[in-house]
Amino acid sequence: MRQAESPSALNLREYADGIQAGDRAVLARAITLIESKKAEHRHAARDLLQRLLPETGKARRVGVTGVPGVGKSTLVDQLGGNLTAQGHKVAVLAVDPSSIRSGGSILADKTRMRRLGRDPDAFIRPSPAAGTLGGVASRTRETMLLCEAAGFDVVLVETIGIGQSEVAVADMVDFFLVLMLPGAGDELQGLKKGVVEIADMIAVNKADSDNVERAKRAAAEYTAALHILTPGSPNWTVPVITVSGRENIGLDKLWAEIERHREIFAASGELAKKRSRQQVRWMWAMVEDRLKARLAAANAARGTVAEIEAEVGSGQLAATLGADRILVLLEK
């Protein structure tokens, strides 16, 4: 039976046909294939992505970030449910924190998103960050393309909200949503991290019950702070709104702003240019990853990198010469 087969057991046509038919089992197996570190799986994954490339690019790509506890999963669950009720097909790529010691991952988003987890028009894929830069799974971009080829017209990428995850996700989506808490004194923390500078919208979440007035004050402070920043686009002023994912308050307005942003950027040509730049940066990021992998393999065979590091660290060898010696390993 297929369930017992390895991820590579299907041929490319079976993968492509299954994904385009919306077969979730095949989609899940294809994602497992692209996440594999085995060389034969990597080659098959690249061929599959190339074959499916004409079927990608039609979805709305939205990144969602915010500090832990801001309510990302609750908001995504409710927003996704609203969208499927309107006829959309929603894929959620939720990047989970991985254990630094064990490499294990919580992978709990599927249980937190109870509504979408039962929705036939939604697909949730938790992916362990596994120590990759900014907590963004190394294959998130490829997973996004597979979901688009499977007919999902909305892809929501939820980050763990730490380190450089915001920058990494912002560089793979069309619209970057930053969620903030209505806590007194915390409203301007995002400015220090540079998060607000890359936001397409700021939403102060948990604006319900006793938090309504605090959320409004926080939104006002962010609105004032944004005036001192240079806009990322001359055609877009970053909106600041208050929402409640738990109570489904303000989410229609939130989505309306995302749609308005898409219309403006599509009409101006900025959307196409942005995606083009992202694709080129993605290519070079993969070049760097593969060079590092080759270097690691070469070092495993020769064990010389540690020696070079020791010499540079002790001052016996200049860093520039050390770099040259390491690069020589790739030429052998």
Q: What are the pLDDT digits (tens) for 261-311?
A: 999 999 999 999 999 999 998 888 888 877 887 877 777 656 788 889 899
For range 215-239, the mean pLDDT: 89
Please report which confidence band the pLDDT of residue 227 belongs to, taking 50, 70 and 90 as the band edges: confident
Q: Where in the chain is the domain with CATH 1.20.5.170?
A: 1-55
For residue 187, give the DSSP letter.
T
For range 16-34, the mean pLDDT: 94
Q: Does domain 278-329 have CATH number 3.50.4?
A: no
Predicted model pTM:
0.85
Q: For position 229, what pLDDT does the model report?
A: 80
For residue 54, give the DSSP letter.
G
Sign of CA dihedral 19, 288, 126, 194: negative
CATH architecture of 1-55: Up-down Bundle (1.20)
Task: Give Rg (Cα) of the chain.
Answer: 22
Please report which confidence band the pLDDT of residue 106 belongs to, taking 50, 70 and 90 as the band edges: very low
Give residue-wise pLDDT tens across range 62-89.
999 888 889 999 999 999 999 999 999 9
For residue 196, give the DSSP letter.
G
Can you tell me the distance from the alpha carbon of 134 to that of 169, in angstroms, rounded to the nearest whole number? 9
Going from the C-alpha of 232 to that of each of 98, 138, 163, 171, 222, the distances in angstroms are: 32, 26, 22, 13, 16
Q: Where in the chain is the domain with CATH 3.40.50.300?
A: 57-267
Paired sense of beta strands 122-128 and 154-158, if any? unpaired
Task: Mean pLDDT check: name the lowest of 107-121, 237-251, 277-291.
Answer: 107-121
Alpha helices by DSSP H, listed for the chain, are 12-20, 24-35, 39-52, 72-85, 109-112, 114-117, 140-149, 165-170, 189-193, 212-226, 251-268, 270-302, 305-314, 319-329
Higher pLDDT, 331 or 180: 180
Can you tell me the distance from the alpha carbon of 170 to that of 180, in angstroms, rounded to the nearest whole number? 16
Going from the C-alpha of 193 to that of each of 67, 137, 164, 209, 284, the distances in angstroms are: 12, 21, 9, 29, 25
Can you tell me the distance from the alpha carbon of 206 to that of 229, in angstroms, rounded to the nearest whole number? 26
For range 181-191, the mean pLDDT: 59
Indicate the CATH number for domain 57-267.
Answer: 3.40.50.300
Going from the C-alpha of 258 to that of each of 63, 262, 264, 328, the distances in angstroms are: 11, 6, 10, 48
Q: Where in the chain is the domain with CATH 1.10.287?
A: 278-329
